[in-house]
C-alpha cells in the first residue's frame, strides 16, 4: 500500500490543488467538479475567516488528498459563536481506501481537539453513496456524524421571462451604500433565529467572506420605510465554478428527452458535458417573520435581475424544514441538495430546534 504524508498546504501548492479539484469528480446521476480558478486560496475566502487546509502527498510528492476545516462566526441556539465547517475533501481514486481515510481523519481529529469550536458541520451530496457509506457511517476511530436533515439546493432555470410582482405597502429596491449599516444589523438579527446561520459584517463585502458581492447586489424589501426582507444575487464565476463532467445511468439516456421536454414544460435545460453552469447564488437571505409573500417578491426580483446579468440558473439553499422552501421549490428546477451533519469527537452539540440555514454560496 502506498504511503501518504500529511502536512499543511502552502501557497506554492495552489496550482496542484486546483488540478486535484478538477480531476476529482463528485459522482452521481449528474457528475460534477467544483473548481477554484484561478486561485484555490482566493476562492477559499468565502468558506470561512480562517482555514486549516491539509494535503496528503504520495511518495513522489504529488498531492493526492485534500481536506479543509474553516472557522467562521455563526449563530448556535441564537448565540454568536465560532463554528467549524468541513469541506473540500478530495481523494484521488487510486488512494481511496479505508486506511488513508482513517489517517486523514486522525489529523482532523487532532485539530478539532486542539482547537474546539462550538459546533462543526459539513454537507455531503445526497446521492454521494460512497461518502455516506464511509465518512458518515460512524465507524470506529472516525469522528461522529450526526444527521441534521436535508438541505435543498434547487437549480432554477432562468430561461423564461417573468413579470415583476408587487404588493401594496412593500417596496423592493437594490441596496445602496447608505443601507449597509441597517442591512447587516437586520441580517444578523434574523440569522440569529436560524441554526448555523452566518454572522456578516459590512467589511465582508468585496474581498472577505462575501467576496465578489457588492451592496448593489442586494435586493431589499421595505414596509413603511422599515427593512423587512433582504437577499443577494451572488455571482462567483470569477473564482469558483461548477463543471458538469458527465451524465450517468438514466440521466445519460434521458438527457436529450429531458431537454426536449424542458422547452415545452418551461423547465431549465441541462448543460452539455464539459460545460459550466452559468449561475448565481441566492445569498444572505433574511425575511422578517418568515413572511412568504415578502420572499416571493424578492425572489421574483432576483430572477429578473439574474436574467439581465446573463445567468442561466440561480441556486438557492434552504433546509427541508425551512418555511420559505415552498416558495423556492415553486419555480421549475433541477433538484439537488445535500445531507447536513454535525461532526464531533464525542457528543454532538445540543440544538434547540431552530431551523438550520446554510449559505449555498459558501459550501
For 36-90, write each residue's pLDDT tens digit. Answer: 999 999 999 999 999 999 999 998 999 999 999 999 999 999 999 999 999 998 8
Length of the chain: 363
pLDDT digits (tens, 9 = 90+) for 317-340: 999 999 999 999 999 998 999 999
pLDDT digits (tens, 9 = 90+) for 241-255: 989 998 988 878 888
d(C-alpha 322, C-alpha 246), whole Å: 31
pTM of the model: 0.89
d(C-alpha 276, C-alpha 62), whole Å: 27
pLDDT at 331: 95
Residue 138 near residue 314, CB atoms below 8 Å: no
Q: Collapsing DSSP states into helix, strand and coil, what is residue 69?
A: strand
Q: What single string gives the DSSP state of each residue in 350-363?
A: P--SPPB---GGG-
d(C-alpha 173, C-alpha 164), whole Å: 12
Residue 284 near residue 200, CB atoms below 8 Å: yes
Specify the range with the lowest mean pLDDT, choosing from 88-97, 152-161, 315-324. Answer: 88-97
Instruction: Report CA-CA distances (Å) from 106 to 17, 33, 111.
Output: 21, 26, 9
Q: DSSP code of 5?
A: E
Q: How confident is the model at residue 267 (pLDDT cuts 50, 70, 90)?
A: low
Q: For residue 271, which of 129, 112, 159 has the smallest C-alpha distance?
A: 159
d(C-alpha 348, C-alpha 353), whole Å: 14
Phi, psi of 130 (to 5 degrees): -65, -45
Average pLDDT, the chain: 91
pLDDT at 249: 84
Phi, psi of 271 (to 5 degrees): -70, 160
The residue ranges of every structural domain in the chain are 5-150, 155-239+271-362
pLDDT at 234: 98
Which residue is associated with the grid cell 467549524? 84
Domain 5-150 has CATH 3.30.465.10: no
Which fold does the domain 155-239+271-362 belong to in CATH?
Aminopeptidase (3.40.630)
Specify the range with the lowest mean pLDDT, choosing from 29-33, 155-159, 335-339, 356-360. Answer: 29-33
Determine which helix (DSSP H) or strand (DSSP E) holds 14, and give its type and residue range. Answer: helix 14-23
Alpha helices in 94-249 (DSSP H): 98-114, 129-134, 180-191
pLDDT at 206: 77
- Asked if domains 5-150 and 155-239+271-362 share a fold, the reply is yes
| Mean pLDDT in residue range 341-345 | 95
Q: How confident is the model at residue 270 (pLDDT cuts 50, 70, 90)?
A: confident
Extended strands (E) in 161-224:
170-174, 205-206, 210-211, 218-223
Q: For residue 290, which of 323, 256, 312, 318 has the smallest C-alpha distance?
A: 323
Amino acid at each position: 500500500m502506498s504511503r501518504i504524508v500529511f502536512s499543511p498546504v502552502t501557497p506554492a501548492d495552489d496550482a496542484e490543488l486546483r488540478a486535484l479539484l478538477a480531476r476529482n469528480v463528485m459522482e452521481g446521476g449528474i457528475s460534477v467538479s467544483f473548481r477554484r480558478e484561478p486561485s484555490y486560496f482566493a476562492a477559499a475566502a468565502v468558506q470561512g475567516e480562517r482555514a486549516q487546509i491539509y494535503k496528503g502527498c504520495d511518495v513522489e510528492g504529488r498531492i493526492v488528498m485534500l481536506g479543509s476545516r474553516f472557522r467562521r462566526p455563526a449563530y448556535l441556539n441564537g448565540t454568536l459563536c465560532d463554528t467549524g465547517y468541513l469541506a473540500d475533501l478530495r481523494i484521488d481514486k487510486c488512494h481511496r481506501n479505508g486506511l488513508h481515510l482513517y489517517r486523514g481523519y486522525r489529523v482532523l481529529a487532532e485539530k478539532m481537539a486542539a482547537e474546539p469550536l462550538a459546533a462543526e458541520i459539513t454537507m455531503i451530496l445526497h446521492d454521494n453513496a460512497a461518502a455516506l457509506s464511509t465518512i458518515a457511517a460512524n465507524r470506529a476511530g472516525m469522528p461522529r456524524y450526526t444527521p441534521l436533515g436535508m438541505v435543498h439546493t434547487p437549480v432554477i432555470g432562468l430561461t423564461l421571462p417573468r413579470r415583476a410582482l408587487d404588493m401594496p405597502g412593500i417596496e423592493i429596491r437594490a441596496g445602496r451604500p447608505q443601507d449597509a449599516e441597517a442591512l447587516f444589523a437586520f441580517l444578523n438579527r434574523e440569522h440569529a433565529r436560524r441554526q448555523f446561520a452566518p454572522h456578516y459584517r459590512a467589511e465582508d463585502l468585496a474581498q472577505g467572506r462575501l467576496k465578489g458581492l457588492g451592496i448593489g447586489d442586494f435586493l431589499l424589501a421595505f414596509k413603511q420605510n422599515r427593512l423587512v426582507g433582504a437577499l443577494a444575487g451572488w455571482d462567483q464565476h470569477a473564482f469558483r465554478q461548477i463543471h458538469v463532467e458527465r451524465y450517468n445511468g438514466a440521466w445519460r439516456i434521458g438527457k436529450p428527452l429531458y431537454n426536449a421536454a424542458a422547452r415545452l414544460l418551461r423547465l431549465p435545460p441541462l448543460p452539455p458535458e464539459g460545460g459550466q453552469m452559468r449561475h448565481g447564488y441566492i445569498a444572505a437571505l433574511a425575511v422578517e417573520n418568515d413572511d412568504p409573500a415578502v420572499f416571493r417578491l424578492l425572489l421574483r426580483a432576483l430572477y429578473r435581475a439574474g436574467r439581465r446579468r446573463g445567468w442561466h440558473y440561480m441556486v438557492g439553499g434552504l433546509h427541508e424544514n425551512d418555511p420559505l422552501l415552498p416558495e423556492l421549490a415553486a419555480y421549475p428546477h433541477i433538484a439537488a441538495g445535500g445531507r447536513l451533519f454535525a461532526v464531533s469527537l464525542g457528543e454532538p452539540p445540543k440544538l434547540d430546534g431552530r431551523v438550520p440555514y446554510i449559505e449555498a454560496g459558501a459550501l
